[in-house]
Structure 1
Amino acid sequence: MPSSPFPVEPAPPDPSAPPLILVGASTRAAAWSAIRAGWRPLCADLFGDRDLASLTRVITVGDYPRGLPAAVGQLAEGLPGPCPRVYTGALENHPEIIDALAANGPLWGNPSDVLTLIRDPWWVARLCQAHDLPCPTLRPGTDPPPRDGNWILRSTRSGGGSGVVDWSPEFSPESLPDRDRGGLVFQQKIHGRAAAALCVGDGRSARLLGTTIQLVGQPWLSATRWAWCGSIGPLALPQPIDDRVRRLAEVLVSAAGLRGLFGIDMVINDHGAWPVEINPRYTASAEVLESASGESMIAEHLAVFSTTRARSETSRMARSDGLACHGKAVLFAPADLEIRDLPLSSPEPVTAASPWYLADVPHEGTTIPAGRPICTVLTSAATNDSCRENLQSAAEAVYQSQER
């Protein structure tokens, strides 16, 4: 495969490579990472996108997430022994599924009792307060604050910005999906830059692997107000804020026993790093840091759980041009779309002024309902601003290609 300014999909895994079951809403990025780390992923997710299906076995789960345990059982059939399973987003909101996965094979991820702690915003707030770390003020969902633009209302089962609304005079409870109306909390709106830290823990201590800028609610991606829709990085933090993020990661791991990869969604401003949500698994931003560093992030995760297989040389990706910034963006359907002739990359991507490459590519003829993800754009550039410009150019090209 020719060198390019950004990583394209890996070659198919070696059939003799050890198997690894991956489950989640989308497993493509984690699967690419696993292949680069020398593993053979077997996947179950919502989409079964064609660039994943071309590399390895994938089961598209219609009854998601309840159908995941059965799909995992199918993937495990015929394997010579117990196969480890790793989950991606946003299964942390479904501890009963995590328990079912763990009941029938080795779970290389955080168990449900850890999820109960780390996904409780009140627990996180108390922990931050005890360690003199900043954290947004919370109020119970039954104790509404003034509708003055300084609060959001979120579900305790939110993920990727779903189940989050502005607490304003225009708010209507009907704007929240039915599934999100159970556990609600008001959270102080913090003004600053949306960012995410990717960390790895071993149950006792933590390492910060990198930080990214978060793209949230971008109109040029047809995203809703609070929807996560991409990442750009790595983001260099001022040393005092970097120190705070590292300390927060250490506190979370030592208090909850977090193991493997985890993400901290946060807002950065002059007063520090304010945690908004903790994601106790491989995150969508991990792919950006993997592209920038050349290191498989799944390899970092698996090294915590595997005593027999350390990170190998295959976990390193070839780097060709030294571009400093890498990015990804998720394009959402502005209306119902039937996918036809998606442009898979920019013209002559190796030499183009704004190179980009598509991933999470749906099968030809797939109907994408309005508001659902179409695909992902990957790119790299010399600066964060030019990386964002590449993503915007790609989004425009993809949307134009689907106009009828």
Structure 2
Amino acid sequence: MSDPKPIVGVVGASARAAVHSLARAGYPAWAVDLFTDRDLYAPAARCPSAEYPRGMPALAEQFPPGPVLYTGGLENYPDVVAELAARRPLWGNPPAVLERVRDPLFMGEVWWSAEGDAVRVPRVLPGDATPADGTWLVKPVRGAGGYGIRPFHPADPVPDAGQHYLQESVTGVPMSAVFVASAAAVRLLGVTEQLNNVGWLNAGVFRYGGSVGPVELPAATADTLGRFGSALAWAGGLVGLFGVDFIIDAAGVAWPVEVNPRYTGSVEVIEHATGRAVMLDHATAFGAPLGDWPVRRDPRHRGFGKAVYYAPRRFVFPAHGPWDDRGGPFDPWSLPTFADVPAAGSTIEPGWPVFTLMEGGSSAADVRRRLQSRAADLDRIFAAEHSR
């Protein structure tokens, strides 16, 4: 019989998705995040926004000993990751790796691309540069979820070069690749399409709006993208789950725009779409035994998606609604229609994420239609709440 699995901590802006991924792999969990949503289904401590993220390591001390992993946002705070790693085994990339792979120049230094390549890295310039050609984006060095990205206009005020950089803008479909790296190999686990710049989610142009997958890339692009992920991992020292956001253009060329050196929002889409509990791969990359725990391989849907619904206006989250439909004991493989559900009475400001919608379907296009229809229903519900 296998030894009992350790209790794993999840620390970051939002822990729910990673906690559920751990449950699919058979790991109990606790969490420290900004929300402690109703559907977290784990012991949790809420970090006040004024103390985020530096108050998180101290809050984590109340939980049992064991490994900890971090989610979105903490890759921008290597000092906080270092404090977590000083107190517990870290199932994540250490500060030195974060500093290396989050450098805007890193991808271009690792991957020398040329005309005709299936993967090409966009050009990068310092934040105070004046490009001579092309269209460009201003991006924060410490960015996450699309926050702070805007088109570059020469007439705009010059940004702080130490806090921003310019990246060549590419026209195409935003996507994300999920990789897992270990000492033995680097594997591409799957690709999703990102729901960025979709008005029906009430999100800004560059804000992360969710993911739909799995996406099948042209064979040459998929093969080259796999080699690109391997090059990043070997050059940067990446271990465990990591993601690469990219744009795929009309010619099928992938243009990587960002490395996410931790558990990403696309992971649970890949898990539900393929039936693979990929947190097992993450755990074994850090030396955990695989054991004889079952890995579910019978996905119920050919396509799966999650969409982050943002508030169209200010309102107080109601006590009851269609998000109260979960019944029975928690099953991490069941498909909730709503996730990341806030507490009743919470004040939601315009543009804030409200919760995550989830849908399965016969194809990615079918999933998108279902998600859009549900988002329209929510617009009507919250319009009525606002008018009361």
- Structure 2 CA distance for aligned equivalents of residues 308 and 205 of structure 1: 17
Structure 1 CA distance for aligned equivalents of residues 340 and 197 of structure 2: 20
In structure 2, what is the equivalent of residue 289 of structure 1? 270
**2:111 equivalent to 1:120:** no
User: Structure 1-normalised TM-score?
Assistant: 0.85
**Which residue of 1 is the match for residue 228 of structure 2?**
248
Partner of 2:24: 36
Per-residue deviation, 1:397: 1.6
Mapped partners of 2:348, 2:10: distance in 1:
24
Matched with 2:135 is 150
Compared CA separation, residues 396 and 304, structure 1 to 2 (3 A): same
Give the length in aligned residue pairs: 367
Q: In the alignment, is the contact (CA less than 8 A) between 1:214 and 1:232 conserved in 2?
A: yes
CA distance in 1, matches of 2:135, 2:101: 25
Counterpart amino acid of residue 364 in structure 1: A
> 2:28 aligned with 1:48, yes or no?
no
1:102 partnered with 2:88: no
Shift of 1:241: 0.4
Native 8 Å contact 2:218 2:252 kept in 1: no
Deviation at 1:34, TM superposition (A): 0.7
CA RMSD of aligned residues (A): 2.4
Secondary structure class of the residue paired with 1:288: helix
- 2:337 maps to 357
Among 54, 57, 60, which residue is 1:69 paired with? 57
Deviations 1:212-238 (A, max 9, x none): 001112211110110011100000000
Instruction: Please say if 1:227 is aligned against 2:207.
Output: yes
Displacement after TM superposition at 1:308 (Å): 3.4
Whether 1:188 aligns to 2:134 is: no
> Which residue in 1 is equivalent to 2:331?
none
Aligned match of 1:21: 9
Aligned to 1:279: 260
User: So what's the TM-score if we normalise by structure 2?
Assistant: 0.89
Opposite residue 47 of structure 2, the aligned amino acid is: V
Q: CA deviation at 1:172?
A: 5.6
What is the CA–CA distance in structure 1 between the aligned matches of 2:156 and 2:323, rounded to whole Å?
Answer: 39
Whether contact under 8 Å (1:343, 1:398) holds in the other structure is no
Counterparts of 1:135-214 in structure 2, within 5 Å, are 135-145=121-131, 150-168=135-153, 171=156, 182-203=162-183, 205-214=185-194
The 2-side partners of 1:333 and 1:129 are apart by: 42
Contact 1:362 1:374 in 2 (8 A): yes
Deviates more, 1:366-375 or 1:230-239: 366-375
What amino acid maps onto 2:45 in structure 1? I
The residue type equivalent to 1:124 in the other structure is: M
| CA drift at 1:356 | 7.1
Change (3 A) 1:346 1:163: same
C-alpha change, 1:237 and 1:311, in structure 2 (3 Å) is farther
Q: CA deviation at 1:307?
A: 3.6
Structure 1: runs of 5 or more not aligned: 1-15, 349-354
SS in structure 2 opposite 1:108?
coil
Report if aligned partners of 1:48, 1:59 keep a CA contact under 8 Å in 2. Answer: yes
Distance in 1 (alpha carbons) for counterparts of 2:326 and 2:277: 28
Q: Secondary structure of 2:271's partner? A: helix
2:307 is equivalent to residue 326 of structure 1: no
Is this contact kept in 2: 1:345–1:357, CA < 8 A?
A: no
> Counterparts of 1:311 and 1:97 in 2: how far apart (Å)?
34
Gaps of 5+ in 2: 328-334
Given that 2:39 and 2:339 are in contact with CA atoms closer than 8 Å, whether structure 1 keeps it comes out as yes
What is the CA-CA distance between 1:64 and the residue it aligns to?
A: 1.0
